[in-house]
Every structure is written in C-alpha cells, then in structure tokens.
Amino acid sequence: MRKYFLLQCKRVLRILPFVLAVTAMLFGALSGAFLAVKQLSEDTDSHNKFKVGVVGNAGDTYLQMGLAALQSMDSSRFSVELQMMTQQEATAALSGGKIVAYVSVPDDFLQEAFYGNIIPLQFVVRGSAGGLVTILKDEITGAVEILLLETQRGIYGVGDALENAGYGNLSGTHINKISLKYVEFVLDRGKVYATEELGISDGLGLEGYLLCGLSAIMLFLACMPFAPLQIQSDQALRRLLASRGVGAGKQITCEFTSYLLGLLVLVLPVLWAVSSTGVLQDYSVTGQDTLQVLPVLLMVAAFSFFLYELVRDYVSGVLVQFFAAVFLCFFSGCIFPVYTLPKSVQIVADLLPAGAARRQLAQCLTDQQSLAPLMLLLCYTAVLLAGAVLLRKKRMENVRG
Amino acid sequence: MNIEVKHIKKAYGKKQVLQDISLTANGGECIGILGSNGCGKSTLLSILAGVQKADSGTFLCDGADLFLNPRRRETLVGYVPQGTPLIEELSAWDNLRLWYEKGALEKSLEDGVLATLGVSEFLRVPVFKMSGGMRKRLSIGCAMAKQPPVLLLDEPTAALDLVCKARIADYLRSFREKGGILLMTTHDVQELSLCDRHYIMRDGVLERFQYTGNVQELVCKL
C-alpha cells in the first residue's frame, strides 16, 4: 500500500507541470472575471450618475455658484452630474457618448427668472436617449429650483442680513463664501446619515461574496487537469492490486491522499500569497484563516473522485466535472448571489456541496465562525469517498468474459 | 503442489454466472479454458485471484483453503488480468517496484523471471510508449514478483503479434517445466497447444474436452 501511494505521488508529480499550466489559465480567467466585477462594483456610483453638460454664460456668478454647489454637495440628491462646458465641447461630448445630454442655459435666463420670466432651457439629447429624457427633465427642474431659489435666496438673504447687522462693507467675495457655507449646511443632507451595509451573505459585501464564490468554482475546476490520473478505462491494475490485498478502499485512500497533496501544491502558494501580501485590501486574511480552505479541498477532491468513478474516458470525465461544477456552483450561489436565485433554490443552495464550500471560504474573510459548513463538507467528503469506493468495487467486479 | 477448485458458484443478481465449477491441477500442468465472451471465464479467474468473492465453493492449494487465507493466496497465486495492469505514465522499472523489493527486482532482472521475459530491454521506457508485447511481458513479470507456483492468465496473448506470442509461450512453457501450474482462459488455438487439459465453459458450466487440433470441431463445441 505504501508503494502504491508513493507511485501515485510520483504520477502526480509527473503531471504537475501540465496541471500548473492549466490551473494558471483557469486562475487567470477567473481572476479577470473577479476584477471586472470588482471594477463594476466600484464604479457603480459613477455609473448610476448621468453626466449632463451645461452650456451657458461662464461668467455668470449665480450659474457658476449654483453649479459648484450642486457638484460639490449632497451627492445623494441627484442622479445627474452636471459639468460646465462650451457649446462645442458639449456637442463633441454628446457625440462621443461622454455625456448623455446637455442643457443650454440662455445668457439672461437667471436675470429673467429673477423677474418671473421663464425662458425655456434648451435640452439636447441624442436620439437614442428614449425615456431617459423624462428622468433628466425632472432632475434638471430640480437643479433649476436649487439654482434659482436656494442659491439666490441664500446669497441675497445673507447679504441683507449682513447689511442690517452693520456689516455692509464686507466684500461680495466674502458674502459669497459665507453664502456657500450656508448652502452647504442646508443642502448637504448626505451628512445626516451613515450607511451600514449588512452585506449579501455571510457578512460579506458583493466583492467578498463573489471572491468566495469564484474561489469555490476555481477549486472545483482545479481538479479537472488531474482527470488523466484518476480515470481508468482499464480495470486490470485495480484487479491485480485487489488480488494482492490492496482493495478498492485502500486504492482510493492512496490515490486520494496523493491527489490531495497535488491539489495542496497548487493551492498553498496562492493561499500563502493571499495571506502574506494583503492582496485583498478590504479583508485581513491570516495564515490561520487560510486553513479554512482545507475542508473545501477535501470535499472538492472527493467530489471529483466520485465523478471519475462514474466515467470511462478522459473526455467524459472532464465534461462531467466541468458541467457538474458549473451547475452545482450556479445553484449554490457561487456565480450569482444567492438572493438572485428562486426561493426554492435559495433553501437548498447553502446545503449543496458548492454552497457549503462558499460558506466555508467566507469564514476566511470574516470573523463569523460556524461549524455548520465544516460539518457539511466533512459529511459530503465521507459520502462521496464511500460512493467512490463502492463504484470502484463494482467496476472491478464487473468482469466480462 | 496441486490445486483443487471445488463447487464454485457465482451469481450477478438473478443471473447464475458460475454453476458448481470444479477442477484440479497438479504441478507442471497447464489448463486451458475456452468459451464465448461473457460465459464466465474471467469471473472464475478473478474469483480465484481474490478480486471478487464466490457465493460458495473452495480453492485449495496443497490442502489449504486460499479463500480463507488471502495472505497465502497472494504468495501462491499470480494473476495476469485482461488488459494492462500497469501505470501508464511510469516506466517499467517504476511499475515493477510496485511489486518487487529492490534487491529482488535487480536479481530477477539479472537471472530470474524478468531476465527470461526480456524486461531489461525496456526498463526505462514509460508504459504508454510500449508495444502490446512489451506490456504483456511486463504484466507477467509483475504477476511473478513473489514467484508464485500458480499462475492465472486471462487471455495472455490476445491482440499480440506472432513473435510476442511465441516469446510469451516460451516463458509459459519454461514455467510449467519448472513445476508451475498454469490456468489460462483463451480464444487462441495456438495457446491451446500449450495446455495439457482443455475445458469449455458454457452457461457457467465447465465441460472437459480433448482438443485434437481440429479448429472446426472446436468451433462446433463452442
């Protein structure tokens, strides 16, 4: 049995360069996917804001101040981001897709508005803007309300107050500064609340959740390059081993242990890199945290062992492994957050092998510790290995001739 | 040295594959078992080799029941299953190391079974690069690691060229001449000429027949 184990280790070592190459490709692809999702997540705020150009008299103090107030304060108020630009810049930006629309403010718009005469703003969009126009019109109306009412009222109000208090000699610049401060206090409602994110699941935000989900997929798929080692269409060696007292159980034990060591050689450097380089900036992952991955590795290795006992050739083995891993990961919420899945699936998602793996991996990133995923993983490992032993025994005994 | 197979029965579910199989063989005898595909020949050998258990029956070697003493069976019975009982990625040397201790392996390569089989010619060649004949010789070499007096061969020369068949037949002849007992299943008429006694297995029953070299007669019996 010891010799068989050592030979299995030798086989794993032989195939390791190939496995490393395939795993590096997989890792690269999944890292790319993760970074793309992370980038998307980081850009969510700016993506949600529509950039709108404002074309008008750049020398108009009120227009400038109103825009400054809108741009620098109360980011929660609007879903549009206003940018002052010239007519030419606005036209070019709209054509290039950098802004979704621009508003042309007539030169005497504010003056006339002050006297109650509303001159319509010219709102320019591309033909494809569709229903966005309605949203933007609402937003612009809100912006104009701020520009006209809050800014002018504030500035004039403060000026009058200072005049009445005997500070009329203060320069316009000072008054403007004070007014801006006032407007900032009034309008910056974003400061009156703090946001606490409960996270998607297991105390993780979208980024951490997806990291765990993609890591689970990665581990499931990392077993694929080992398929040529484990899939045996010819049962002769196994029968010969059985005739020498190395039965299905002992065979699986030797093969599984060497296979697990191979997987560890693949995964440990990544874990070491994660824990020592702090590449996950938002999470502090220690070496001890990374040990949480070991039960997942056990289960994943047992899972592939079980599948490989079901098939008779490499191509079927790789296909079965791939589709089983992807479907399992999908229904366990590793690809999309679990709350996006149907209610009935949500109930079983955490109980499936990939779900338990995802939850166990989540414990690397959070302080939450639960024995439930660990126990589930160990149960799955035992059941899958027992299944693999039974299948092998059955195949060895299935002698035709 | 003699072996006695007594009243072996085996069923897969409701299908009775072996029905009360009995035979005996003495040292230096070669027994050939013929039969159509799926008739139970390989099942019988795998039971005798210990790969699977019989529903009933005994396998005696010099009076000792090998079914009850697997350790003894491992040293007394060598088994060459159908196919390639080798690890494809590894060399002949590595495969042999699975079955031989280092000293015994070197000795066997020098003047033992492995030397007779000519395994040293391809000792460092990985199995996946070997020809069918090399693989079969290596498989027999692996089975002979403990120098068992009984050798079970499941279609030993199937799909081999004539030169390889002749080489393996030479070895088997020398094994028999040294007092070994050969029990082989075969579809090959050339192998039948090696055998002292012939049996046909049909519907799980073993029937003795005398092979006279007439293939047409043999086909009719099958």
* Average pLDDT estimate for A227-245: 83
* CA–CA separation, A322 and A308 (whole Å): 12
Angle at B202 between CA B199 and CA B206, to 5 degrees: 40
Q: Which of B37, B40, B81 is facing A239, going by the closest CB pair? A: B81
Q: Please report, rounded to a whole number, the percentage of residues in chain A having pLDDT higher than 70.
A: 70
Note the pLDDT tens digit of each residue in A311-332.
888 888 888 888 888 888 888 8
Q: Which of B83, B89, B185 sits opposite A14 (nearest CB)?
A: B89
A210, A33 in Cβ contact below 8 A?
no
Distances (CA, A) of A336 to A213, A282, A300, A332: 8, 21, 20, 9
Count of other CB atoms within 10 angstroms of residue A111? 13
Residue A108: how many other CB atoms lie within 10 Å: 14
Q: CA-CA distances (angstroms) from residue B113 to A14, B73, B139, B156, B161?
A: 29, 20, 12, 16, 21
Looking at chain B, the whole-number percentage of residues with pLDDT higher than 70 is: 99
Q: Using one digit for the tens of pLDDT, what is the confidence trace for B183-205?
A: 998 887 777 888 888 898 888 88
Hey, which CATH number is domain B2-221, 3.40.50.12780, 3.30.70.1400, 3.40.50.300, 3.40.630.30?
3.40.50.300
- CB interface of B with A, residues 90-119, below 8 Å: 90, 94, 97-99
Q: pLDDT for A273-325, tens place per residue?
A: 766 666 566 666 676 777 778 888 899 989 988 988 888 888 888 888 888 88
CA distance B166 to chain A (A): 23
Q: Which of residues 142-161 of B touch A (CB under 8 A)?
A: 142-143, 154-155
What stretches of A224-286 show up as alpha helix (H) in DSSP? 227-230, 236-243, 248-277
pLDDT at A195: 47
Asked if B87 and A11 come within 8 Å (Cβ–Cβ), the reply is: yes
Contacts for A161 with CB less than 8 Å, ≥ 6 apart: none
Average pLDDT over residues A72-90: 71
Q: Starting from the edge strand earliest in sequence, which strands make up the sheet with A101-104, in order?
A: A80-84, A50-55, A101-104, A122-125
Residue of higher predicted confidence among A182 and B5: B5
| ipTM of this predicted structure | 0.84
Mean pLDDT in chain A? 76
Residue bearing the bigger pLDDT, A89 or A223? A89
pLDDT for the residue B80: 87
3-state SS assignment for residue A26? helix
Closest alpha carbon to B194 in B208, B179, B206, B211: B211
Q: Is the pLDDT of residue A199 over 60?
A: no
pLDDT of A48 reads: 57
Judged by average pLDDT, the poorest of A9-18, A117-126, A330-339, B177-186 is A117-126
Residue from B74, B76, B77, B98 whose CB has the most chain A CBs within 10 Å, to mutate? B98
Examine the pLDDT at A194 and tell me if it is beyond 60: no
* Short-list A381, A331, A329, A382, CA closest to A222: A329
Asked if the C-beta of B139 comes within 8 angstroms of chain A's C-beta atoms, the answer is yes
At A384 the pLDDT is 93
Tally A–B CB contacts below 8 A: 85
Mean per-residue pLDDT, A44-50: 57
Check whether A192 has a pLDDT greater than 50. no
Entry field: residues in chain B: 222
pLDDT of residue A238: 87
CA A166 vs CA A160, A163, A175, A176, A360: distances in Å: 10, 5, 13, 17, 69
Interface membership of A397 toward B (CB under 8 Å): yes
Window 5-34 of B: residues touching A by CB (8 A cutoff) are none
Q: Which of B48, B51, B80 is the best residue to mutate to test the A interface, defined by the most A CB atoms within 10 Å of its own CB?
A: B51
Q: What percent of chain A shows pLDDT beyond 90? A: 7
- Predicted pLDDT of residue A72: 61
Determine contact: B209 vs chain A, CB below 8 A. Answer: no
Mean pLDDT score, B118-132: 88
Give the start-to-end residue ranges of the domains of chain B: 2-221
Decide if pLDDT at A154 tops 80. Answer: no
Q: Are A366 and A348 in contact (CB under 8 A)?
A: no
Chain A positions touching B77 (Cβ under 8 A) are 243
Residue A54, strand partner residues = A84, A103
pLDDT number for residue A377: 92
Going along A65-214, which residue ranges are E strands?
80-84, 101-104, 122-125
Q: Which residues of B touch A15 (CB under 8 A)?
A: 89
* pLDDT at residue A388, as a whole number: 92
